[in-house]
Chains A and B, each alone.
Chain A
Amino acid sequence: MRHTEAGVWILVGLVLAGLAIPWFLWGSATVVAGLPIWLWWHVGWMGLASLVFWLFAQRAWGVGIEPAGSDGDSSGGHGVGPESARETGPGGDGL
């Protein structure tokens, strides 16, 4: 179901945005290895965000945008390399 899938990803996006700043460490001045602990959280969180974005790009790219049953590359003529042609399976099988 593309619809539920989109809902889940919206939730994931909100969580990623919501905790990029560690609100639960508000006021904390603990220093670990030369940097404030809240900065370490942020660095780790951004790494996680990249990983989640990569997963999204692999498994669910097109959700909420491409019409159902479309592979999304049907729209363009020129410039579509063999690489993108290879990976244009139905994007909706993620999750």
Chain B
Amino acid sequence: MSAVALQLSIIVGYLLLALAVGLVAYRLTDRTAEDFYLASRTLGTVVLLFTTFATLLSAFTFFAGPNIAYAQGPEWILVMGLMDGIIFAILWYVIGYKQWLLGRQYGYVTLGEMLGDRFGSWWLRALMAGVSLLWLFPYVMLQQVGAGTALEALTEGAVPYAAGAGLITAFMILYVVVAGMRGIAWTDTLQGAFMLVTTWVAVLLVLAAVGGPGAATDALASNPDTGGFLSLGGDYYTVQWMLSTAITIGFGVAMFPQVNQRFFAAGSKTVLKRSFALWPVLCVLLFVPSFMLGAWAAGLEVAVPEGANVLPLVLAEYTPTWFAALVIAGAMAAMMSSSDSMLLSGSSYFTRDLFRPFLGFLGVVVSERLEDLIARVGVVLFATAAFVVSLFQPATLFDIGNAAFSGFAQLALPVLLALYWRRITRAGITAGVVVSQCFYILSLFFAVVPSAYAGWSAGLVGMGLGLVVTVAVSLATSPAAAERRAIYFDRFGAD
């Protein structure tokens, strides 16, 4: 069988497997929005860990991470380790555990719902959802573009971009609408385990072919182009850049809807505890082999054309065809699993925080069954819109999608203050969110606001600005009459 046919059959095989899992999950669902979005808050340790892991890291770890290590050196492992293994793990407890407790007690499904209830404000809820969708929608579009382009490259143009991306979008819609959170979490678990195993097999195969890690690293050191890769730091990896990147992305991840919503979905406290402790080890297990492959490829002089991904090329050179095909197919599937989750969360923000309050405003009462239906229709609308927009390849949306992590990071500190600081007011959190978002968006598109400050990124500076504004405005204002501070503190935890 040719490599292309093999890759396509592996991809199709994966899609069918995912669909089967989805159908099993569908049989187990209650027809309620809580079950559709959160699997009725019942996820176990392994499933929660791997679904978060696969959602968060999949496509990026497979492609972008090794590319960075190939171009700039393996220090990227340290940046990702700090951001995901430590910072995100700590937020897992600090934001995640408190959100989980609040979610169980008051039935929250989205971040906006949680904040809107506390601050007695439908428009704060809408603001949180609106800001999140502003960053999420282009990010989903990027995934579709990525999958469509990959399929086009894989079939050497036989499946044109629009058909490939359209096919994948249609499949995702079908899958998400049928399976909901439970099915997505199950396939993510398969995928996370698959990613981990194939990455290790890949690194072992490549190292066996080149004579072990010592030989591969020697090649890296003796190559004049990459001799500097082994010393920690450099022109690209400055202290400011490493810290800015790790902090903004680490905090951004916790506010990404598909990750944040998983904080509500854990089955028990024990699940949260175990996942929390396993997180740093899991990160190292994946990052070290996959990024070292990228770095070693540079020393081994694997040629990577402009715009191509390094990992498939290394595998093509050093591993059997079927194995390389398997990994590429896995990467495609991984891209889809991230998109699935984003689609589900995005539609929940849209229907619950924007559309339902609007219906309420019109005086329409929504039953549980109707809300479940609206949720599924929301998925179709969200995915279709992202696909249609992707056909036009709008440059501005590409920029926004690429900056999504820092954009979400701007929400993190105001949310943290809301969870832990009693003096925060509605005016304070609103001002903090609005100011930091405006600042960061301006820094992306206008030269008036610089994108770096003595080496520190605008994303990090924006977070600091949001923090200062939230605190200052909160101290200068008094709580609005509708605010319910007690539900996060005094009445919290009581039966």
* A22 contacts partner chain B, Cβ-Cβ < 8 Å: yes
Interface residues of A in 43-77 (CB under 8 A from B): 43, 46-47, 49-50, 53-54, 56-58, 61-62, 64-67, 70, 72-77
Q: Give chain B's interface residue range (CB within 8 Å of chain A).
A: 35 or more
Q: Are A34 and B85 in contact (CB under 8 A)?
A: no
| C-alpha gap A81/B274 in the complex (Å) | 14
Contacting pair A46 B270 (CB below 8 A):
no
A42 interface neighbour in B81, B489, B490, Cβ under 8 Å: B81
The interface residues of chain A lying within 8 Å CB-to-CB of B217 are: 31, 34-36
C-alpha gap A35/B217 in the complex (Å): 7
Q: A28-B231, A39-B77 are in contact. Are A75 and B101 (CB under 8 A)?
A: yes
Proximity bits, A12-32, B CB within 8 Å = 1, else 0: 010011001111011111010
Q: Is the CB of A31 within 8 A of B284?
A: no
Q: Is the interface of B mostly helix, strand, loop or mixed?
A: helix
Give the complex CA separation of A76 and B146 in angstroms: 41
A-B contact count (CB 8 A): 149
Option from A27, A43, A50 in Cβ contact (under 8 Å) with B233? A27
Within 8 A of A (CB), among B265-300: 267-270, 273-274, 276-281, 283-284, 288, 292
The range of chain A's interface size is 35 or more
Q: Report if A49-B280 is in contact (Cβ < 8 Å); known contacts: A74-B494, A84-B268.
A: yes
Q: In the complex, are the beta carbons of A53 and B280 less than 8 A apart?
A: yes
Interface string of B112-129 (1 = CB under 8 A from A): 000000000000000000
Interface contact B270-A34, CB-CB below 8 Å: no
Does B471 have its Cβ within 8 Å of any Cβ on chain A? no
The listed residue with most B CB atoms (<10 A of its CB), out of A34, A77, A83, is A34
- Asked if A49 and B85 make an inter-chain contact with CB atoms under 8 angstroms apart, the answer reads yes
Q: Does A80 contact B (CB under 8 A)?
A: yes
Q: Distance in Å from the Cβ of A30 to the closest Cβ of chain B?
A: 8
List chain B residues, Cβ under 8 A from A77: 104
Given contacts A21-B78, A29-B232, A80-B268, 16 further A-B contacts (CB under 8 A): A17-B82, A17-B90, A20-B81, A20-B86, A29-B230, A31-B221, A39-B77, A46-B284, A49-B89, A49-B280, A57-B276, A61-B97, A67-B494, A74-B493, A76-B105, A84-B269
